[in-house]
């Protein structure tokens, strides 16, 4: 990767996207510019807010639209860490674009009268002093090196009226691509707010209002993905989809009420057919790669591999939920970027008889949906990976390639026996996921390689990873565990176990055979994955543990355990697996395995947790797993429903 001084901006291809029904075409946008910078600084659209600048608060949420499998797919994302060039070929909605009639915030003037706008050519935007035309013309423009073009009110290309009268009312025609219209037409009449906005008003869901544009956009995404498709918005769904939006003063109850209120308001609709046609046209005109562009957006795997081989020093990016922070927090700049998110082959999920093949550019949201479809018990864990806007942008391949020791997908994938496929023009190579890592954020990927696919065995399919071997090592580990003193927590665990065995228990605590969850024809598995973090939603793990045991006739036939937060890389708990394999699955075995697991890793202390805590919790999670395997419930936060207790 090369650092590039700001003064000399490399040539970049234009960005084209659809906003308010029209194609916006911008030139000279630097490769490292974010969508939020483009909106606020270049286009003067300050309705979208900046809070944290790192994907955590959701104030900057916008919605992107794309064609997927022939249909329109909307995704709420964090504009602060999303690179502007990555939205080339998509539709974009901000909080300023969704009401059937809305004021043109682009035309509102900051103090002093100077307006920062997208560069418009003469006649391309609003006439000076006049009403903005009912349809927005295509805004073609070019930003000067370094970013924004400053236009004065009334200058050619400025949407502001000479004399600074603002704002104007922009009226979109019903049915115009990308516009939001009351179902049945009638734009310009009531309602003047989108249901996402109206519900926030009706439920008193905003106080200072800083977070509100972000919430509204997450609600907008929710509305068109669920309400418009006739799906109800449950409390749980609202909570899950709003987990990436933080509010510091209103409190979440009225906001969740607003999410559920939307369905009862007068419906509005997107004209999907018109928008799809425009997106298709945009895609057709955008496939030709501009060889000298500093931001490359290949559409095929062959093209990606060719670019990677030609420019091994270029910064490879996917959803930018890690890289975006290098830009906003570390102020890193890249002279050349290769963005793999549009590579068709890498955006697919294929279901094979014994495994899922997940393309590296599949979003975390879609990848987890596929994993949850296969193993429904993963749902609570999947919904705790960041918040929805991050999962909508970040990719599974990016999480794995980034290689953070506290990355959440890797312990799970290791426990599932996932393999990865690296590709270059020289050909593919495949390996167990854990063999990717060689040290802290270091891996075996060559400069011309990319992570292309992740192969995840289906429940009950033959495990692709070699079983632990070597009688010597096995015996050594088992003996060591047998001779060790029982930790205090084990005594506690025994007590709990005895109590749950003896007491007259409610149905939810009754033991039940849980082996074989997830179906499949091979060995029945029992899979659990635990994330320990300071905050339940939208937080990074201190420790993550995924345990997948296959039991045959009461004996552990196969053990597969992935751990995060306890070593320099995500790791397989190979010693614990070896210890468990061939043992009867009993409480005594589980207790000894806890000791082996604690001894297997030497975690560090950092701001998230101390070394001692991490070790302790590792063993405790195995204890939790044992209890769950015996049918004991209500021992984790997922089974605790606050509203039922109130
Ligand atoms: C608010 C917030 C919350 C988060 N919460 C979590 C969490 O709960 N759990 C968690 O694990 N992570 C979390 N993350 C981290 C982040 O979302 C993940 O690591 C994400 O999966 C990265 O994917 P990406 O597509 O955004 O990668 P990018 O940021 O685009 O890239 C990350 C790195 O991977 C490389 N890369 C990407 N794709 C490939 C590929 N196919 N081949 C080779 N190299 C590649 C890039 O070159 C770069 O070095 C969070 C991030 C944010 C901002
Ligand atoms: S500004 Fe906080 S998530 Fe973007
Ligand atoms: S932060 Fe003030 S209303 Fe949410």
Report whether residue 420 contacts ligand 1, using a CB cutoff of 6 Å. no
pTM: 0.83
Which stretch, 72-86, 129-143, 176-190, has highest mean pLDDT? 72-86
* Selected residue with higher pLDDT from 462 and 150: 462
Q: CA-CA distances (angstroms) from residue 588 to 71, 575, 594, 595?
A: 54, 17, 10, 11
Report whether residue 57 contacts ligand 2, using a CB cutoff of 6 Å. yes
- Return the C-alpha torsion angle 13, 311, 305, 318, nearest 10: -60
Gap from CA of 218 to ligand 2 centroid (Å): 13
Report whether residue 195 contacts ligand 2, using a CB cutoff of 6 Å. no
pLDDT grade for 460, boundaries at 50, 70 and 90: confident
Q: Transcribe 78-127 into DSSP letters.
A: ETTSSBGGGGTTSEEE-TTS-SSEEE-GGGPPPTTS-EEE----TTSSPP
Q: What is the pLDDT of residue 178?
A: 61
Closest ligand to C-alpha of residue 424 is 1
Gap from CA of 78 to ligand 2 centroid (Å): 6
Gap from CA of 381 to ligand 1 centroid (Å): 17
Note the helical H segments in 134-185: none
Segment 243-266 shows an average pLDDT of: 96
Query: How many residues belong to the chain?
Result: 646
Q: SS3 of 348, please?
A: coil
Q: Closest ligand 3 atom, CA of 249?
A: 2
Gap from CA of 60 to ligand 2 centroid (Å): 5
Gap from CA of 59 to ligand 2 centroid (Å): 5
pLDDT grade for 637, boundaries at 50, 70 and 90: confident
* Pair of tokens at residue 494: 């025994």
pLDDT grade for 641, boundaries at 50, 70 and 90: low
Residues with CB under 6 A from ligand 3: 206-212, 247-250
Gap from CA of 254 to ligand 3 centroid (Å): 12
Gap from CA of 71 to ligand 2 centroid (Å): 28
pLDDT grade for 581, boundaries at 50, 70 and 90: very high
Scan for tokens 């950092």, then name that residue: 606
Evaluated on CA atoms 85, 86, 89, 95, the torsion sign reads: negative
Tell me the angle at which helices 488-502 and 587-600 cross, rounded to the nearest 10 degrees: 150
CA distance 451 to 435: 13
Segment 612-626 shows an average pLDDT of: 96
Q: What is the pLDDT of residue 482?
A: 41
Q: What is the mean pLDDT of the chain?
A: 80
CA distance 549 to 557: 8
Nearest-Å Rg of the Cα atoms of the chain is 27
Q: Closest ligand 2 atom, CA of 53?
A: 1
Q: What is the pLDDT of residue 640?
A: 65
Segment 66-90 shows an average pLDDT of: 96
* Pair of tokens at residue 462: 């033959």
Identify any residues that bridge with 171 across adjacent strands, giving them in sequence order: 101
Report whether residue 60 contacts ligand 2, using a CB cutoff of 6 Å. yes
pLDDT grade for 177, boundaries at 50, 70 and 90: low
Nearest CA to ligand 1 atom 4: 386
Report whether residue 39 contacts ligand 2, using a CB cutoff of 6 Å. no
Report whether residue 386 contacts ligand 1, using a CB cutoff of 6 Å. yes
Nearest CA to ligand 1 atom 19: 399
Q: What is the pLDDT of residue 627?
A: 95
Are 393 and 78 spatial neighbours (Cβ–Cβ below 8 Å)?
yes
Report whether residue 564 contacts ligand 1, using a CB cutoff of 6 Å. no
Scan for tokens 């700001």, then name that residue: 6
For residue 154, is pLDDT > 60? no
Nearest CA to ligand 1 atom 17: 321
Q: What is the pLDDT of residue 636?
A: 74
Report whether residue 80 contacts ligand 2, using a CB cutoff of 6 Å. yes
Note the helical H segments in 440-586: 471-483, 488-502, 574-580
Gap from CA of 489 to ligand 1 centroid (Å): 35
DSSP code at position 229: G
Pairing verdict, β 61-68 and 91-93: antiparallel
Q: Closest ligand 3 atom, CA of 207?
A: 3
Q: Which domains does the chain have, with CATH numbers?
A: 15-191 (3.10.20.30), 344-457 (3.30.465.10), 485-638 (3.30.390.50)
Q: Closest ligand 1 atom, CA of 81?
A: 53
What percent of the chain stands above pLDDT 70? Answer: 73
Closest C-alpha among 105, 87, 125, 131 to residue 286: 87
Gap from CA of 439 to ligand 1 centroid (Å): 17
Report whether residue 35 contacts ligand 2, using a CB cutoff of 6 Å. no
Gap from CA of 214 to ligand 3 centroid (Å): 10
Q: Per-residue pLDDT tens for 311-363?
A: 999 999 999 999 999 999 999 999 999 999 999 999 999 999 999 999 999 99
Q: How many CB atoms lie within 10 A of CB 144?
A: 12
Cβ partners under 8 Å of residue 231, min gap 6: none
Gap from CA of 60 to ligand 3 centroid (Å): 13
Report whether residue 403 contacts ligand 1, using a CB cutoff of 6 Å. no
Gap from CA of 466 to ligand 1 centroid (Å): 28
Nearest CA to ligand 1 atom 50: 386
For residue 6, is pLDDT > 50? no
Report whether residue 172 contacts ligand 1, using a CB cutoff of 6 Å. no
pLDDT grade for 246, boundaries at 50, 70 and 90: very high
CA 9 to chain CA mean position, Å: 30
* Pair of tokens at residue 444: 């075996």
Q: What is the pLDDT of residue 174?
A: 39
* Pair of tokens at residue 175: 């049915």
Closest ligand to C-alpha of residue 52 is 2
Strands (E) in 516-580, as ranges, are 525-532, 543-552, 555-564, 571-572
Cβ partners under 8 Å of residue 252, min gap 6: 239, 242
Gap from CA of 319 to ligand 1 centroid (Å): 7
Return the best residue to mutate from 39, 47, 57, 242 for the ligand 2 pocket (most ligand atoms within 8 A of CB).
57
CA distance 31 to 319: 14
Closest ligand to C-alpha of residue 77 is 2
CA distance 555 to 588: 13
Q: What is the pLDDT of residue 462?
A: 63
Q: Per-residue pLDDT tens for 469-504?
A: 433 333 444 444 444 333 333 333 343 344 333 333
HSE-CB of 101 using CA atoms within 13 angstroms: 15
pLDDT grade for 129, boundaries at 50, 70 and 90: very low
């Amino acid at each position: 990767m090369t650092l590039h001084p700001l003064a000399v901006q490399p040539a970049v291809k234009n960005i084209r996207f659809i906003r308010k029904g029209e194609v916006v075409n911008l030139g000279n946008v630097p490769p490292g510019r974010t969508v939020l910078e483009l909106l606020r600084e270049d286009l003067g659209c300050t309705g979208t807010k900046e809070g944290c600048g790192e994907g955590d608060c959701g104030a900057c949420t916008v919605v992107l639209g794309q064609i997927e499998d022939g249909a329109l797919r909307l995704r709420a994302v964090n504009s602060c860490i999303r690179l502007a060039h990555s939205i080339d070929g998509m539709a974009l909605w901000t909080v300023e674009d969704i009401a059937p009639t809305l004021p043109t915030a682009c035309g509102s003037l900051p103090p002093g009268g100077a307006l920062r706008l997208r560069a418009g050519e003469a006649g391309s935007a609003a006439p000076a002093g006049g009403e903005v035309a009912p349809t927005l013309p295509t805004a073609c423009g070019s930003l000067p090196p370094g970013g924004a073009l400053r236009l004065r009110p009334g200058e050619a290309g400025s949407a502001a009226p000479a004399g600074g009268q603002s704002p104007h009312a922009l009226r979109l025609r019903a049915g115009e691509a990308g516009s939001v219209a009351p179902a049945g037409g009638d734009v310009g009449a009531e309602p003047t707010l989108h249901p996402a906005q109206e519900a926030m008003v009706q439920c008193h869901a905003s106080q200072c209002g800083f977070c509100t544009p972000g919430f509204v956009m997450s609600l907008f995404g929710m509305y068109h993905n669920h309400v418009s498709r006739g799906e109800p918005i449950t409390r749980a769904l609202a909570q899950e989809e709003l987990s990436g939006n933080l509010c510091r003063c209103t409190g979440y109850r009225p906001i969740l009420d607003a999410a559920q209120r939307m369905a009862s308001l007068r419906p509005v609709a997107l004209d999907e057919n018109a928008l799809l046609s425009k997106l298709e046209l945009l895609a057709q005109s955008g496939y030709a790669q501009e060889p000298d562009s500093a931001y490359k957006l290949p559409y095929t795997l062959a093209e990606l591999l060719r670019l990677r081989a030609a420019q091994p020093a270029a910064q490879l990016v996917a959803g930018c939920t890690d890289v975006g922070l290098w830009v906003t927090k570390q102020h890193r700049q890249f002279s050349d970027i290769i963005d793999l998110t549009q590579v068709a082959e890498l955006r697919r999920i294929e279901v094979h008889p014994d495994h899922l093949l997940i393309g590296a550019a599949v979003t975390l949201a879609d990848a987890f949906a596929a994993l949850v479809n296969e193993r429904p018990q993963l749902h609570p864990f999947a919904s705790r990976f960041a918040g929805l806007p991050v999962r909508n942008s970040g990719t599974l391949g990016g999480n794995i390639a980034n290689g953070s020791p506290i990355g959440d997908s890797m312990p799970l994938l290791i426990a599932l026996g996932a393999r990865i496929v690296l590709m270059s023009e020289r050909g593919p190579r495949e390996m167990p996921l854990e063999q990717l890592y060689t040290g802290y954020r270091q891996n075996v990927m060559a400069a011309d390689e990319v992570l292309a696919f992740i192969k995840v065995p289906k429940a009950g399919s033959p495990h692709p990873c070699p079983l632990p071997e070597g009688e010597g090592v096995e015996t050594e580990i088992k003996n060591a565990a047998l001779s060790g003193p029982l930790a205090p927590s084990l005594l506690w665990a025994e007590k709990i176990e005895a109590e749950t065995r003896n007491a007259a228990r409610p149905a939810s605590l009754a033991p039940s055979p849980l082996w074989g969850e997830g179906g499949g024809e091979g060995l029945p598995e029992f899979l659990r994955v635990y994330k320990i973090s300071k905050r339940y939603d939208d937080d990074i793990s201190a420790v993550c543990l995924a345990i997948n045991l296959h039991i045959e006739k009461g004996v552990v036939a196969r053990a597969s355990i992935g751990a995060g937060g306890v070593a320099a890389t995500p790791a397989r708990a190979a010693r614990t697996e070896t210890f468990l394999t061939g043992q009867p699955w009993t409480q005594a075995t589980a207790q000894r395995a806890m000791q082996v697991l604690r001894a297997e890793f030497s975690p560090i202390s950092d701001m998230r947790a101390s070394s001692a805590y991490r070790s302790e919790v590792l063993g405790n999670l195995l204890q939790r797993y044992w209890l769950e395997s015996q049918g004991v419930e209500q021992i984790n936060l997922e089974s605790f429903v606050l509203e039922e207790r109130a």
